[in-house]
Structure 1
Amino acid sequence: MAAGSKEQPGTRPRMSVDLRGIGVTLAGRAVLRDVTARLAEGRIGIVGRNGSGKTTLARVIAGLIVPDAGDARTFGIDMAKDRRAALKDVGIIFQNPDHQIIFPTVIEEIAFGLAQQGLRQSQAEAEAQQMLVRFGKAHWADAATHSLSQGQKQLLCLMSVLAMRPGVIVMDEPFSGLDIPTRLQLMRYLDGIAAQVVLVTHDPAQVRGFDRILWLEGGRLIADGPPAQVLPAFEAQMLDWGGMDDLAHLAH
């Protein structure tokens, strides 16, 4: 799939992540508090400072963390309780691809998730090869995953997730540490994805063209709306805190 090309939408229900009164406590600290939102838009950004609860919320959406309070459902299903549905319907891409990639070659890495979904190994590898072809990366098939650059590893993670055809893709700071050209190239790939994308970031520039923004602070949802409404306030608050001599806010 060339950058900018569009996937054909499937027959899934309308995009929908329902968060109702989500609360999460980790190591005795309330990380999320009463977060409620129904996410039906195609492109959703979650912004906030480090420690605001962004990553925890991403993991709740993906079914990797069971909330202590409230209810989280995707396509009407509790992903934390139905791992088969989570594997089928929600993909997650972590900040560090080295924490996600586990196989020695590219083709094995992409085929793994497909095999987990029940495909025979030969069929999984055939579909993995098709995914590489769609991205113009057929020559990567036998490449050693450890030899890829960080940007190439992130693209591999994206292809691995897309191969499983999830309805929702959660991305947790996926462009952190990448140079500007690589980041822009990967963003263009994202533009061509039919799935709902939930992107966690501290950089408002990455989500300025999105449909909706959630702003977390201290584990609470303090703003929710279109980028033009939420991002100026977020940026102004970050600049205000950054201009203070008091370093108390860095404790987060």
Structure 2
Amino acid sequence: MSGILETQQLTHIFPNGKAAIQEINLSIKGGEFVIIAGPNGSGKTVLIRHFNGLFLPTKGKVLLEGEPITKDLTEARKKIGLIFQNSDSQIVGQTVADDVAFGPENLNLSRKEVDHRVKESLEAVGLSDLANQQPHTLSGGQKKKLTVAGVLAMNPQIIVFDEPFTGLDYPGVLQVLKQIVGLHKNGHTIILVTHELEKTLAHAGRLIIMEKGRIVRDGEPSQLINEVELYGIRRPYGQNRSVETMTWLS
């Protein structure tokens, strides 16, 4: 069965001739929680930036519901939300509410619909009380939640996170992790790039490992946990801890 999101022979070569990703064939089904892991330089971020057309391939293609995303990039970006590693690079509004409204406003929606989406999205991430606050005053965890709200306001089917825990303290990690798990429970397809498997692996149904621009392993986390160190990925602490017990959430 075809997935909601697919890549076929996806290859990206930089202008200097270096191949960032090579011949990636991948199919992700609706409702999956997928982790993409790999050492620095393995091609993880380059891969996910092709999912909604931020990068265009040198060869191959990306399909969304069976159609090339290049057929309608605007529609693809509505259905696939990408949350960057650096939250500040994604925040553009003068207030929290303004920032969440930015995406819907660019869809030329009515004021009533924009306000409705902003209200729902802020409630979903627990930032309603900070709607009129300036984003630069937020904590790291709150900024990450704000970027999630901005993506939610676009009503995406798929949400892609690129190293969502970078720079966060423990409370911030818990805030963001609860948000991600909640989004999955509410029916969103989650794709998460991370090297911190101990925080997320218990919640995922699939682990993809990349090395040198290629997918080298793809399967259930419990089947691959003993192999991750072979690919330069830190194994979650505790030699005998099973994937089922590695959870940061109660």
What TM-score bracket applies, with the shorter chain setting the length?
A: 0.7 to 0.9
Deviation, structure 1 residue 122? 4.3
Equivalent in the alignment of 1:199:
192
| SS of structure 2 residue aligned to 1:70 | strand
Q: In structure 1, what is the Cα distance between the partners aligned to 2:115 and 2:3?
A: 29
1:220 and 2:214 matched: yes
Deviation, structure 1 residue 236? 4.4
**Deviations for 1:62-116, whole angstroms, at most 9, x for unmatched residues?**
2211111112112223224422212221100000001100111111111111112
1:30 and 2:19 matched: yes
| SS of structure 2 residue aligned to 1:60 | coil
Of the three residues 145, 150, 154, the one matched with 2:144 is 154
Q: In structure 1, what is the Cα distance between the partners aligned to 2:197 and 2:126?
A: 30
Task: Count the aligned residue pairs.
Answer: 227
Tell which deviates more after alignment, 89-98 or 183-192. 183-192
Q: Give, as a single letter, the amino acid of the residue that structure 2 aligns with 1:21.
A: Q
Q: In structure 2, what is the Cα distance between the partners aligned to 1:32 and 1:72?
A: 13
Equivalent in the alignment of 2:176:
186
What TM-score do the two structures reach when normalised by structure 2? Answer: 0.85
- Identify the structure with bigger relative contact order (alpha carbons < 8 Å, sequence gap 6+): 1
Equivalent in the alignment of 1:107:
97
Equivalent in the alignment of 1:49:
39
Of the three residues 130, 138, 141, the one matched with 2:120 is 130
Q: In structure 2, what is the Cα distance between the partners aligned to 1:232 and 1:62?
A: 32
Tell which deviates more after alignment, 25-34 or 73-82. 73-82
Equivalent in the alignment of 1:20:
8
Percentage of pairs with the same residue: 33
- Any stretches of 5+ residues in structure 1 without a counterpart? 1-13, 241-252
- Any stretches of 5+ residues in structure 2 without a counterpart? 235-250
Q: Give, as a single letter, the amino acid of the residue that structure 1 aligns with 2:20.
A: V
Q: Give, as a single letter, the amino acid of the residue that structure 2 aligns with 1:39.
A: I
Q: Give, as a single letter, the amino acid of the residue that structure 1 aligns with 2:43.
A: G
Distance 1:121 1:186, change over 3 A: same
| SS of structure 2 residue aligned to 1:161 | helix
Tell which deviates more after alignment, 166-175 or 36-45. 36-45
Deviation, structure 1 residue 131? 2.2
Tell which deviates more after alignment, 143-152 or 120-129. 120-129
Q: In structure 1, what is the Cα distance between the partners aligned to 2:230 and 2:171?
A: 27
The alignment's C-alpha RMSD in Å is 1.8
Equivalent in the alignment of 2:158:
168
Q: In structure 2, what is the Cα distance between the partners aligned to 1:130 and 1:220?
A: 39
Query: Contact 1:106 / 1:142 at 8 angstroms: preserved in 2?
Result: yes
Equivalent in the alignment of 1:4:
none
| SS of structure 1 residue aligned to 2:148 | helix
**Deviations for 1:178-212, whole angstroms, at most 9, x for unmatched residues?**
11221122111111112101001112223312011
